[in-house]
Amino acid sequence: MLDITNLHATVADKPILNGVSLHVPAGEVHAIMGPNGSGKSTLAYVLAGRPGYEVSEGSATFGGADLLAMEPHERAAAGLFLGFQYPVEISGVSYLQFLRESLNAQRRARGEAELSGAEFIKLAREQAAALGMDAEMLKRPVNVGFSGGEKKRAEMVQMGIMQPRFAVLDETDSGLDIDALRIVGEGINRIMRAADKGVLLITHYERLLEHVRPDRVHVLQAGRITRSGDIELARDLEREGYAEVAA
Amino acid sequence: MTAPFPTRKQEGWRYADLDALQPVWEQFAEPLTLTVGPGEGFEEVWLPVADDVQVRRMQIALEAGAKARLFVLNTAPVYGRIELDVSLAEGAEFELTGANIGTGLSTNEIVTTVKHIGENGRSRQTVRSVLNGKATGSYLGKVGVARGAQKTDAGQSVKAMLLDRGATANCKPELEIFADDVKCAHGASVGELDAMQLFYAESRGLDPASARALLLEGFVMGLWDSAKDGDAIREAAREALRRVVG
């Protein structure tokens, strides 16, 4: 479903990714772990198409299409979702308006009918409730005044509303307390565990993986995948650290 | 007798489009006057009209405890000027919330003089500008606090968004204070749309033009939230943004 081959990328002319190869088949959840500065967030941004993140070599295809040739909004319409490590605040625009316009833009691009206001509000309420978020918060400006944990939970509500085919989740677990972590883990399973969907879960910690149970775990170090394994690899890392396990 | 035609040497007219003003000066030479009596309230929404040149000049005297709120949208195709000269007696409150939205070669400006004459007055001025093409948008705001006007609380917040290298924003909050126990705050910023906000919106499926339009809407639309009758100005602002963002 997502095929990354020998991907090299630079940010401000500095090489960050140095030949990442990764294959995530439909129906699987893969986790990427790695120390600070190893290139995890860069990989997420490159996949979503953030300006300034330049691919210098290699390829990434999504469902057979050249992902890197698409604009960010085209990637979203194709079914790619990026859960941001630091969700962005937008004052003056309510979450409801933001998500409704975004979802309908995606649907238009796919040739699907747009949702009416009532249909959208019903969907938003359902997804907020499923993630234990007060639907009233969706009337507030996007992420303004939200705590770190609320922002991450709101990212998952967005994912539930968008129903992507593939999610790249960049440290969605950071800033969450234990209960919120469980709710977010359950949300990922509920929304994304399906035969025709896939997830790339970027994390520092093994704890979220106990909820989500990835099919594969990869270690990213210095812009390259240095080890791959099953969830036992994540447990080893948690116990012994990156230096010991992946060196 | 018509008041003399202004010159650019006058501070309040330095960014004005005097060529556009000249042919119509006679109708605008005398500002309208309004007195709000003690304890009374006044609220008005000023919508743009279809004319190329749109000038509104008003002198407002707020007597003790009077309150005035103005919501204004300045989006003339050639030259728009909203000029206010406000005096506040004891305990009076004045609130101006406005936007300049322009494109092409247009000049839109909000020029204010707010004079706190009595004690305990409060004034708030919030102006947002969205400028594209070679448009100019200005806010010139002078706040004066007279010798006896202790406990004055005056605020000015001015922000401009430039969408094109050719666009110009002028922000000039100015204070003249002759009392010692006062609170006068002002802030001004000129910027472009935030790249991370744009990317966030695009990553959710909005094409670049729609993402820009949404962010600009957020920049301007929050202004009208507290207006009693804000629907018309909200719709006019939305329309102006659509025209200016293109």
Read off the pLDDT of residues B72-122 as tens digits, 9 standing for 90 and up.
999 999 999 999 999 999 999 999 999 999 999 999 999 999 999 999 999
Q: How far is A29 from chain B (nearest CA, A)?
A: 21
CB contacts of A159 in chain B (<8 Å) are none
Look at B200 and A88 and tell me if their CB atoms are within 8 Å.
yes
Read off the pLDDT of residues A128-166 as tens digits, 9 standing for 90 and up.
999 999 999 999 999 999 998 899 999 999 999 999 999
Per the CB < 8 A criterion, the answer to whether B185 and B154 are in contact is yes
Look at B206 and A141 and tell me if their CB atoms are within 8 Å.
no
Q: What does the H/E/C string look like for chain A?
A: CEEEEEEEEEECCEEEEEEEEEEECCCCEEEEECCCCCCHHHHHHHHHCCCCEEEEEEEEEECCEEHHHCCHHHHHHCCEEEECCCCCCEEEEEHHHHHHHHHHHHHHHCCCCCCCHHHHHHHHHHHHHHCCCCHHHHHCEECCCCCHHHHHHHHHHHHHHHCCCEEEEECCCCCCCHHHHHHHHHHHHHHHCCCCCEEEEEECCCHHHHHHCCCEEEEEECCEEEEEECHHHHHHHHHHCHHHHHC
Look at B200 and A90 and tell me if their CB atoms are within 8 Å.
yes
Any CB–CB contact under 8 A between B219 and chain A?
yes
ipTM of the complex: 0.96
The mean of the pLDDT values for chain A is 94
Q: pLDDT band at B1, cuts 50/70/90?
A: low
Residue B241 is inside which H or E element, if any? helix B231-245
Q: How far is A45 from chain B (nearest CA, A)?
A: 10
A246 has a pLDDT exceeding 70? no
Dist. CA B28–CA B5, nearest whole Å: 10
Q: Tell me, what's the pLDDT at A247?
A: 54
B3 has a pLDDT exceeding 90? no
Measured CB to CB, residues of chain A less than 8 Å from chain B are: 48-51, 71-73, 75-77, 82, 84, 87-93, 97-99, 101-103, 105-106, 109, 141, 158, 162
- Tokens coding A143: 């992420």
Q: Tell me, what's the pLDDT at A238?
A: 85
Contacts of B213 (CB under 8 A, 6+ apart): B241, B242, B245
What's the predicted TM-score (pTM) here? 0.83
Question: For the range A97-101, what are the long-range contacts, defined as Cβ-Cβ under 8 Å and sequence gap of 24 or more?
Answer: A97/B214, A98/A142, A98/B201, A98/B204, A98/B214, A99/A124, A99/A138, A99/A158, A99/A161, A99/A162, A99/B204, A100/A124, A101/B206, A101/B210, A101/B214
Read off the pLDDT of residues A120-132 as tens digits, 9 standing for 90 and up.
999 999 999 999 9
Any CB–CB contact under 8 A between B230 and chain A?
no
Burial class (CB in 10 A: 0-12, 13-18, 19+), A54: middle
Read off the pLDDT of residues A163-182 as tens digits, 9 standing for 90 and up.
999 999 999 988 888 888 99
Look at A71 and B215 and tell me if their CB atoms are within 8 Å.
no
Say which amino acid occupies B30. E
Mean pLDDT in residue range A102-113: 97
Q: How far is A10 from chain B (nearest CA, A)?
A: 18
Give percent above pLDDT 90 in chain B: 80
**Helix, strand, or coil (residue B26):** helix
Q: Tell me, what's the pLDDT at B187?
A: 85
Q: Tell me, what's the pLDDT at A117?
A: 93
Q: Tell me, what's the pLDDT at B242?
A: 87
Dist. CA A243–CA A245, nearest whole Å: 6
CB contacts of A102 in chain B (<8 Å) are 201, 204-206
